[in-house]
Chain A
Amino acid sequence: MLPSARATLMAALDAGWADPQRLYTEARRARALLDQARELLADGLGVRPPEVSFLPGGPAALRAGLEGLRYAGRRRGARMVATAVEHSAILTTGRYHAVQADNPLLFAEVGVDRVGRVDLPAFEDAISIPGTVLAAVQSANGEIGTRQPLERAHELCRTHGIPLFVDAIASLGRDPTPEHFDVLAGDARSWGGPAGLGVLVVPERTRWRRPGPTSEVEQGRTDVEPVVAVALAAAEAWRQTRANRENEAARSSAIIARLRAAAADLHDVDVVGDADDRLPHVLTFSLLYVDGEALVIELDRRGFAVGSGSACTSNTLEPSHVLAAIGGLTHGNVRITLPLNAIAPTLEGDVDRFITELPDAVAVVRSQLGASGL
C-alpha cells in the first residue's frame, strides 16, 4: 500500500467509523467521505459516481459483474464467453454454471495465441451463437502482461448485441483506463490501495441486475457494506498513482526491459507474453529443469519476493492456466510484479542485484535436482 493511502486509512478510521446509512452527525460524515471516495474514482474511470460500486475485493467484483450480466440476459439465454486467460474467478464461475446445467455449451473459453492474445475470429464465432448473454475479456493479463484488443472486441460485441465485461484488475493505475466496456471491474491493490476493496462499474446504459433479493447497499450491486476508511484510502492511492502514472510506466518499462533481457540470457528459458504491447510492470519466464517452488524459496533466501505459476507452488497439482493456454513451459516459473515507486524507492538497486544473482540461483536449484548438464 502507498504510504499516503495508509495515512488516509488510519485517519479515516477515526473520522469515518459510523454507518453511512444513518442520519446522525458522525454517520453523515461517513456518508460524505464515502461519496468523496466514489466521486474521485468515478472521475478517474471516466464514469458518473452512481455507476461505481465498492465490493469486497477484486474477485468479488468479477463474480458480481458476471452474475449480474448473466441474470439481466436470462430471457435471451445463459451462455457466457470468456478468453482462456481470464482471471480464475471468471473461469470457475463460468464452468460452475455449465456443470450445474449439465450443458458444456453454456460456457465457452476462447483460445489465445502464443503471446496470450485472444483469437478474435474465434471470439466472434463464440459470441455469435444464439443464447450468448455476455463476453468477458481482460484489459491485460496480470501474469504475462499481454494486453487484449479491447476496442476491436467491443466492436464485435456491439455488432452481435452482447455486453462486454472487462476485467481491468491488472491494468488499472498502470495503463490508461479502458474506454471500451459495458461493465468493468478493478481492485484497489493494483494501484497501491488497501486489500479488500473491489470496484464494479456498471454504466447506466448497461442492462445489469443482481440475482437474489434486492439490496440497498452500493446501488444494489452487493449486500456487503464497504468500509469507509478502506474506500477513502483506495481513492487517495488512486489520486497519487494516477498523477504519477506516465513517469511510473516509463520507469517500470525500462526495468522490465532489463529484466527481460537478463532472463532471455539464461540457459533453457521460455520468456512469455508480448514483448511490446504489454503492461509496463510485469514479467514472466520459465526455466527448464527447475523446480518452481525451490527457485522461489532460493530467491526469497536472497531477499527477492517473486511469484510463480508452477504447479508445485500451488495447492493443486495444476499449473497456471495462463501458461497452459499459451503453450508455455509451466515448471520453473518466475513471475515478477514491480511495486510502485512510492512503495519501493530503491527498486533500481534491487533489480541490479537480482540480475547479478539470478543465474547463480538458477544453477543452485538445477544442481539440487541433478539436472546440471542436461
Chain B
Amino acid sequence: MNEIEVDARGLRCPLPVIRLAAAAQDAPAGTRIVVLTSDPAARHDIPAWCRMRDHELIEITQESDPTYLRFVVVIRSQPSNAAGGGSGSARSSRAT
C-alpha cells in the first residue's frame, strides 16, 4: 500500500490542510497519508476535510516532546476533475 508523509509541523491554518490536499491530489485510492501538524486548528480541520471530501480518517494520535498531532488518512477515491477548480464531484457543499 502506498504511504505518503506530509510534515506540516510549524505551519498554521489553512496550510496543513492545503499540504494534505496537494498530497492527495494525485494519490490513487487506498493511499495512506500520514500528516504531522502542530496547528491546533488542524485537530478540527483535517477531520472536516475528510468529511467534505469523503476520505477516511483512521487515526489521530497526540505525540509529545515536542507536541504535535499525527493523522492517518486513507484516500477513498479521486474526484474526476480535481484540476478543474473543484466543481462537480469535487465539490462538497453542505447546507443542513
Residues on A facing B (Cβ under 8 Å): 114-115, 260-261, 263-272, 274-275, 286, 288-292, 310-312, 317-319, 323-324, 327-332, 369-374
Contact = CB atoms under 8 A, between A and B. Distances in A.
A323 to B, nearest CB: 7
A331 B96 contact: no
Given A319-B45, A374-B86, 15 more contacts: A267-B93, A268-B90, A270-B48, A271-B93, A274-B96, A288-B21, A289-B18, A289-B21, A311-B41, A317-B41, A327-B48, A329-B52, A332-B14, A369-B15, A372-B85
B82 interface: yes
Given A288-B49, A311-B12, A324-B44, A269 B93 contact: yes
Interface string B70-87: 000000000000111111
B22 to A, nearest CB: 6
A249 B50 CA distance: 36
A233 B77 CA distance: 59
Contacts of B40: 311, 317-319
B70 to A, nearest CB: 18
Contact of A270 (B22, B82, B94): B94
B39 A373 contact: no
B30 interface: no
A261 B95 CA distance: 8
A371 B18 contact: yes
Contacts of B47: 327
Contacts of A369: 14-15, 18
Interface of B: 12-15, 17-18, 21-22, 25, 39-41, 43-45, 47-49, 51-52, 82-87, 90-96
A290 B92 CA distance: 15
B78 to A, nearest CB: 12
8 contacts: A261-B95, A264-B93, A266-B93, A269-B94, A275-B96, A286-B48, A288-B14, A319-B44
Given A270-B48, A310-B41, A373-B83, A288 B17 contact: yes
Contacts of A310: 13, 41
Contacts of A292: 13
A328 B37 CA distance: 18
Question: Which of A267, A291, A331, A372 has its CB near the most chain B CB atoms (within 10 A)?
Answer: A331
B95 A264 contact: yes
A260 B18 contact: no
Nearest to B49: A288
A230 B51 CA distance: 47
A311 B14 CA distance: 9
Nearest to B87: A267
Contact of B14 (A266, A290, A318, A324): A290
A324 B46 CA distance: 12
B37 to A, nearest CB: 12
Contact of B13 (A265, A266, A271, A312): A312
Given A271-B95, A311-B12, A374-B22, A328 B48 contact: yes
